[in-house]
Amino acid sequence: MKSKLWITALIASAVIATGCSANNTNSESEEMDHSNMSEEEMKNMEGMDHSNMDMEGMDMENGHASHTNPLELNNSTGENELALPPLVEAKDGVVDITAQQGKTEIFEGVQTDTYGYNGSFLGPVIRVSEGETVTFRTKNDLLEPTTFHWHGVDIPGEGDGGPHQLLQPGASEDVKFTVSQGASTLWFHPHPEGSTAEQVYKGLAGLIYVEDENSKSLGLPDEYGVNDFPLVFQDRQFNEDKQFDYQAVRNEDGTIGDTMLVNGTLNPKLTVGKEKVRLRLLNGSNARNYTFKLNTGDSFQQIATDGGFLNEPTEMSEITLTPGERAEIIVDFSKYDASSDVALVNEADSILLPFKIDEQKTNTVAISETLNDYVVTEEEKNLSVTKKLELFGMGEMVYINDKQFDINRIDFTQKQGETEIWEIYNKPDMMGGMTHPFHIHGTQFKIVSIDGKEPPVELQGWKDTVAIEPDQKVKLAVKFNNKGIYMFHCHVLEHEENGMMGQVEVL
């Protein structure tokens, strides 16, 4: 009976939230504060029939129940050339990385307060090679504590930059490790408990490229900023003064925005040659999912997942990335000319990135048909499940195995170098639930199966983040090459912050 009342309240608040203006999302979390609900009541949420809850604004969009805040993305007008992050490599084995605050002219003539690494907004691309020993010399020049987390990097736990490795304002820390993984596009961002989402939102994010012998010999476009471009996609909402006011727009189910920034550029366009171009896509958003396609309907080739190359270039007409995920694609612009209208668009046809073709720039590259030798072995397929995780809930009530994050609790242990099968189940709730991008620190894993079936070919490669839809069960083969404490969590940053995170200690 009580739970029925609760549903009524929920529907009412959903209606309110749908009807209210975009910068008023806070009312929702207040309306939906049911922190004094009992365990019993929460458990009841799952068994309910909500087939008749098909009301306006509650359908699914981008994997979100759009009652949260159905903010549509604006189209890029293409008036600004895309910013290219500086490319940095180690000097005498050292890369300096400083988190700092600054002001950035995102809108013409307006200074927006932002955060960045080695600059006022976002970060560089750090390029390292497999086998290289490198020291990331990190420094916190912010006025608040932060951490430096290397997302997707195979690194000892003490250097991973999770919530345990808090760096106070003014403090520095050397993180020394040997790059022990193959070519991939990884990234870095802060991870302090309780302020990850806000710090990322304000601009703390950068890319890490790992190169290896293989990546140099495949004939892939690899000239940085010429035919090989990083694309960091982040949706933001600005206030009237064109500032980020994270607390005002924070949404407990994931903060989304109506304004697309690519590499921090508003209304970007990218000038490319009449040739094959490699685009390294990162969904660096707090919560929004993207389904990337070309407005022409033409296909492109996917060549890499989060942590390495696919075995072969794979023809795709669209590709979905949830927060934290990456993909590398090759777009063949040789069939277009200067008058072509070509753009990267999102599923609802909002224009993310228009291209301008420079016909003077051409190059014929012959891309190898074989890129990698990734395989899920028979042995891995036959291993039994030794870790079970259940993702459940919404808003502030998000859980893994009925628990919320506690920095003093180790949820699992695993032996270094040993492969275990993790089974992750996304348990639907009364609203249907939402897709959770599940991420594990300090390793790249293999997707063994999704609902008992072999994953599609574009997921047959190394991953560190996997989108798990409501009611889906995903099996992962997970091996840690280093020791230490690592986080696993939902990469919707507000879910992570609300407790959808746990810790595995590798011994």
Please identify which residue in 303, 492, 493, 501 interacts with Cu ion, judged by CB under 5 A: 492
Q: Which two tokens stand for residue 380?
A: 């891995």
Please identify which residue in 67, 189, 236, 436 interacts with ligand C2O, judged by CB under 6 A: 189
Please identify which residue in 139, 250, 276, 436 interacts with Cu ion, judged by CB under 5 A: 436
Q: Is 441 among the residues that bind ligand C2O (CB under 6 A)?
A: yes
Residue 397 C-beta: closest distance to Cu ion, Å: 12
What order do you get walking across the sheet with 436-440 strand by strand?
Answer: 412-414, 501-506, 484-490, 436-440, 465-468
Cross-strand partners of 203: none
Residues 405-434 that bind ligand C2O (CB under 6 A): none
By C-alpha distance, which of 286, 306, 267, 274 is closest to 459?
306
Nearer to Cu ion, 176 or 427 (CB): 427
Residue 163 C-beta: closest distance to ligand C2O, Å: 9
Residues 312-331 that bind ligand C2O (CB under 6 A): 324
Distance of CA 79 to the CA centre of its chain: 26
Kindly state the number of chain residues that form the binding site for ligand C2O, as judged by CB under 6 A: 10
Query: Contact at 8 Å (CB) between 284 and 234?
Result: yes
**Which one of 201-209, 252-260, 416-424, 487-495 is the stretch in contact with ligand C2O (CB under 6 A)?**
487-495
Please identify which residue in 125, 321, 389, 487 interacts with ligand C2O, judged by CB under 6 A: 487
Nearer to ligand C2O, 221 or 254 (CB): 254
Residue 191: contacted member of Cu ion, ligand C2O, none (CB under 5 to 8 Å, by partner type): ligand C2O
Q: Is 493 among the residues that bind Cu ion (CB under 5 A)?
A: no
Nearer to ligand C2O, 205 or 447 (CB): 205
Nearer to Cu ion, 357 or 490 (CB): 490
Residue 218 C-beta: closest distance to Cu ion, Å: 35
Residue 495: contacted member of ligand C2O, Cu ion, none (CB under 5 to 8 Å, by partner type): Cu ion
Question: DSSP labels for 107-171?
Answer: STT-PEEEEEESSSSB--EEEEETT-EEEEEEEE-SSS-B--EEET----GGGS--TTS-B-TT-
Q: Is 274 among the residues that bind ligand C2O (CB under 6 A)?
A: no
- Taken in order 390, 393, 399, 401, the sign of the CA dihedral is negative
C-alpha triplet 349, 350, 354: angle, nearest 5°: 100
- Taken in order 86, 191, 416, 447, the sign of the CA dihedral is negative
3-class SS of residue 214: helix
Provide the binding-site residues for ligand C2O, judged by CB under 6 A.
149, 151, 189, 191, 324, 439, 441, 487, 489, 491
Provide the binding-site residues for Cu ion, judged by CB under 5 A.
436, 490, 492, 495
